[in-house]
């Protein structure tokens, strides 16, 4: 005889055996053979909610003691501190409102539709691979799938029982609550981040051979599967390809590229998408209504944008916002300003004012506004990021006006975005985007973030005042078609060394203008088997796609004599010694005639490449005296003529020239 607990009674031998049996069942360690009815009775006790099991156990013990279990009479203080009755009811929103069915899952309609059709048709795959960013529902989907595999509902009220896999789960089934609480014996969840080795996978493989204890299907959920080792992946391949009929695998990962292709090919893959900010804001609004929390719509939109498509991040921020806004009392709604202070982000209106000041060239006002926001606790890098986001919004509103119909934008953002899009051109907006994004990278590595942000704004303000390529051409006397406008300057084209008319265009890079004078020579065409000149031979080699021979003819051959069937040349220094024999074989194959190709010691003319270089130098020196080119060189100090190309169609070159591209990476005195 012995005392148990604090009661003053003795336990009977039968009671010891009975409670030992209950303990064995609760610990899932069965030492006695049980019938199917006993198994189901035990399961109903094991997989009952924790509160129900605790109440049943308390009633049993109280009955044995013949004394009721009184509640905490102190009203709050217990042996282990304050009564946690009310605190135990609190659960974070991300867990409290975790979807329990596919109908509760938001933003993943393609996946839900595919699974619904697969279950209805009986085409259930043996392994599923769920991938996506954090907080979009990978683990939640895995648990819902585990419920769908094992959904079982007894018949009642003239309704037939459900004993087959289905994603239509109108109410909690026999195994659902245990699966939801991650305590079902046949649904095993493994965190691959902490179980990475082959031993962990070997245990799965060994246990997969045995049929499930209670449910219809044994389900293995492996989270962060990309963390498994190479040996673990290899050990899993055979079982994954041909698993027992009662086993299903569900993998979840945020880094799909780290999962071997041999594993991916054995799974049905679903890419869970980021949640649209408007849809996420509506979801948060429903949760706030269920929690009796008053919050502004603009505040919810800010949370949805800050979450970047992650439902878990959004619910965590909402939890924090509720706690932060409780200081104002229950009657006051959580405002957008509260969220801004909590998140440490800049006021959107202030960001737009700062952007307008910079693009208008008000450097002093822009620096003052930046300093004010910095003193208010806003990170300078975050300010630049939000300015870049507004630049992107204005660009989209300019090119796709339907963007304004998005419910994720506030009325203020729509109005200011339209005004900015109307004032600024596309080149100005793209230039602002490039400078801001490069500035964000600079701030991440800078020890002086505020000063670095100041210099980025200065750079952007001065770059915004630079003329666009079209304006620069107009100031130089050109119209929109790159043709010269009537001026007192000399004509824009002139003959140079008899090689045809010359045209030019402007390209700016790093603040320097470059005058490019283009020239094109007509490529001679081969005339069947008759090769009239050495240039025709080079063109024939290019036509035959023998690029190595073509380059050798241009750079290594100093021609002495050329006629049909015979070639003599001097080999330049560094040329291939077998060039003559190679050329002889090629010519015979191309013309069906025998050619005599010989190499002499001296007397050869310059190579084709040397002749082109000489012509380019001559043309370049002649162009430097051209009045139009001289005017361009004066307008852009430091400009250089970097290439010369001729064309018979002077308009062709003007159309083919690249647009002006600004590159602010090169340091300058104005930066």
Query: pLDDT (tens digit, 9 = 90+) per residue, 523-541?
Result: 444 344 588 888 888 888 8
Mean predicted confidence (pLDDT) in 327-352: 75
Q: Which residue has the higher pLDDT, 79 or 556?
A: 556
Q: Average per-residue pLDDT in the chain?
A: 76
pLDDT in tens, 263-280: 999 999 999 999 998 899
Which tokens hold the place of 645? 């190309």
Helix axes 277-290, 311-325, angle to 10 degrees: 50
Query: In whole angstroms, what is the distance from residue 155 CA to residue 601 CA?
Result: 105
CATH code 1.20.272.10 for 349-465? yes
Beta strands in 92-186 (DSSP E): 127-131
Delimit the domains of the chain by residue range: 93-271, 277-343, 349-465, 470-521+612-656, 534-605
pLDDT in tens, 168-225: 888 888 899 999 888 899 999 999 989 989 999 999 999 999 999 989 999 999 999 9
> In this predicted structure, what is the pLDDT of residue 236?
92
Lowest mean pLDDT among 8-12, 319-323, 352-356, 646-650: 8-12
Would the pLDDT of 57 be above 60?
A: no
> In this predicted structure, what is the pLDDT of residue 563?
85
- The class (CATH top level) of 93-271 is alpha beta
Establish whether domains 93-271 and 277-343 are of one fold: no
Which tokens hold the place of 12? 């009977």
Most confident of 369-373, 505-509, 617-621: 369-373
Q: What percent of the chain has pLDDT over 90?
A: 31
Mean predicted confidence (pLDDT) in 54-79: 42
Lowest mean pLDDT among 293-302, 484-493, 588-597, 605-614: 484-493
Q: What is the pTM of this model?
A: 0.55
Q: What percent of the chain has pLDDT over 70?
A: 73
Of the candidates 114, 172, 136, the residue with the CA atom closest to the CA atom of residue 283:
136
CA separation (Å) from 367 to 221, 237, 465, 532? Answer: 54, 60, 17, 71
- The class (CATH top level) of 534-605 is alpha beta
Of the candidates 638, 661, 636, the residue with the CA atom closest to the CA atom of residue 463:
661
Would the pLDDT of 8 be above 70?
A: no
pLDDT in tens, 356-408: 999 998 999 999 999 988 888 788 998 999 899 999 999 999 999 888 887 77
Of the candidates 510, 513, 503, the residue with the CA atom closest to the CA atom of residue 475:
513
Is 91 strand, coil or helix? coil
CA separation (Å) from 596 to 508, 534, 588, 593? Answer: 51, 14, 10, 10
**Under 8 Å between Cβ of 196 and 178:** no
CA separation (Å) from 130 to 53, 101, 188, 271, 551? Answer: 34, 16, 17, 6, 54
> In this predicted structure, what is the pLDDT of residue 316?
92
Mean predicted confidence (pLDDT) in 298-313: 88
Would the pLDDT of 520 be above 50?
A: no
Of the candidates 482, 521, 487, 526, the residue with the CA atom closest to the CA atom of residue 504:
482
- Hey, what CATH topology would domain 277-343 get? Helicase, Ruva Protein; domain 3 (1.10.8)
In which band, very low, low, confident or very high, does the pLDDT at 41 lie, cut at 50, 70 and 90?
Answer: low
Q: Distance between the two ends of the chain, CA-based, in angstroms?
A: 92
> In this predicted structure, what is the pLDDT of residue 17?
36
Strand order through the sheet with 596-600: 557-563, 566-571, 596-600
User: Residue 266: is it exposed, middle or buried by C-beta count within 10 angstroms (0-12/13-18/19+)?
Assistant: buried
């Amino acid at each position: 005889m012995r005392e148990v607990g604090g009661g003053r009674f003795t336990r009977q031998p039968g009671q010891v055996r009975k409670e030992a049996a209950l303990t064995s069942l609760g610990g899932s360690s069965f030492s006695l053979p049980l019938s199917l009815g006993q198994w189901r009775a035990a399961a109903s006790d094991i997989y009952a909610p924790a509160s129900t099991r605790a109440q049943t156990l308390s009633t049993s013990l109280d009955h044995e003691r013949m004394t009721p279990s009184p509640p905490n009479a102190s009203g709050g203080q217990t042996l282990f501190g304050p009564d946690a009755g009310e605190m135990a009811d609190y659960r974070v929103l991300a867990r409290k409102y975790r979807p329990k069915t596919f109908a509760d899952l938001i933003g993943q309609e393609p996946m839900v539709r595919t699974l619904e059709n697969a279950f209805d048709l009986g085409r259930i795959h043996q392994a599923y691979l769920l991938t996506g960013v954090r907080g979009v529902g990978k683990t939640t989907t895995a648990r819902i799938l585990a419920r769908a595999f094992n959904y079982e509902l007894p018949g009642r009220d003239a309704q037939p029982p459900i004993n087959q896999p289905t994603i239509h789960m109108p109410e909690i089934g026999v195994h659902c609550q245990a699966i939801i609480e991650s305590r079902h014996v046949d649904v095993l969840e493994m965190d691959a981040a902490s179980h990475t080795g082959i031993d962990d996978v070997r245990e799965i493989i060994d246990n997969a051979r045995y049929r499930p204890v209670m449910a219809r299907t044994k389900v293995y959920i492996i989270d962060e599967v990309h963390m498994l080792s190479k040996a673990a992946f290899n050990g899993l391949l055979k079982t994954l390809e041909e698993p027992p009929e009662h086993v299903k695998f569900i993998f979840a990962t945020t880094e799909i590229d780290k999962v071997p292709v041999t594993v991916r090919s054995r799974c049905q893959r679903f890419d869970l998408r980021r949640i649209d900010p408007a849809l996420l804001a509506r979801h948060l609004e429903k949760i706030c209504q269920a929690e009796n929390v008053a919050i502004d719509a603009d505040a919810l939109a800010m949370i949805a944008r800050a979450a970047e498509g992650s439902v878990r991040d959004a619910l965590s921020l909402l939890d924090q916002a509720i706690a932060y806004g409780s200081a104002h009392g229950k009657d006051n709604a959580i405002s957008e300003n509260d969220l801004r202070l909590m998140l440490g982000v800049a006021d959107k209106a202030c960001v737009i004012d700062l952007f307008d000041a910079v693009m208008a060239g008000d450097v002093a006002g822009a620096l003052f506004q930046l300093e004010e926001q910095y003193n208010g606790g806003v990170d300078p890098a975050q300010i630049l990021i939000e300015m870049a986001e507004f630049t992107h919004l204005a660009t989209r509103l300019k090119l796709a006006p339907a963007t304004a119909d998005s419910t994720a934008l506030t009325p203020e953002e729509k109005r200011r975005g339209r005004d900015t899009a109307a004032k600024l051109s596309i080149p100005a907006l793209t230039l602002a985007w490039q400078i801001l994004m490069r500035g964000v990278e600079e701030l991440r590595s800078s020890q002086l973030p505020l000063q670095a942000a100041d210099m980025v704004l200065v750079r952007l303000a001065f770059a915004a005042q630079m003329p666009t390529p079209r304006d620069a051409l107009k100031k130089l006397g050109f119209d929109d078609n790159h043709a010269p406008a009537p001026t007192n300057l000399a004509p824009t084209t002139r003959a140079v060394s008899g090689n045809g008319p010359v045209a030019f265009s402007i390209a700016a890079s790093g603040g320097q203008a470059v005058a490019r004078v283009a020239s094109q020579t007509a490529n001679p065409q081969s005339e069947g088997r008759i090769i009239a000149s050495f240039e025709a031979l080079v063109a024939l080699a290019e036509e035959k796609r023998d690029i190595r021979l073509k380059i050798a003819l241009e750079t290594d051959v100093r021609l002495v004599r050329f006629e049909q069937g015979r070639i003599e040349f001097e080999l330049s220094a560094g040329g291939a010694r077998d060039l003559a024999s190679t050329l002889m074989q090629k010519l015979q194959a191309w013309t069906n005639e025998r050619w005599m190709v010989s190499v002499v010691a001296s007397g050869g003319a310059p190579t084709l490449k040397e002749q082109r270089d000489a012509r380019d130098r001559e043309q370049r020196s002649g162009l430097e005296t051209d009045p139009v080119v001289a005017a361009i060189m004066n307008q852009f100090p430091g400009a250089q003529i970097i290439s010369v190309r001729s064309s018979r169609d002077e308009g062709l070159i003007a159309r083919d020239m690249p647009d002006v591209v600004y590159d602010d990476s090169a340091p300058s005195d104005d930066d």
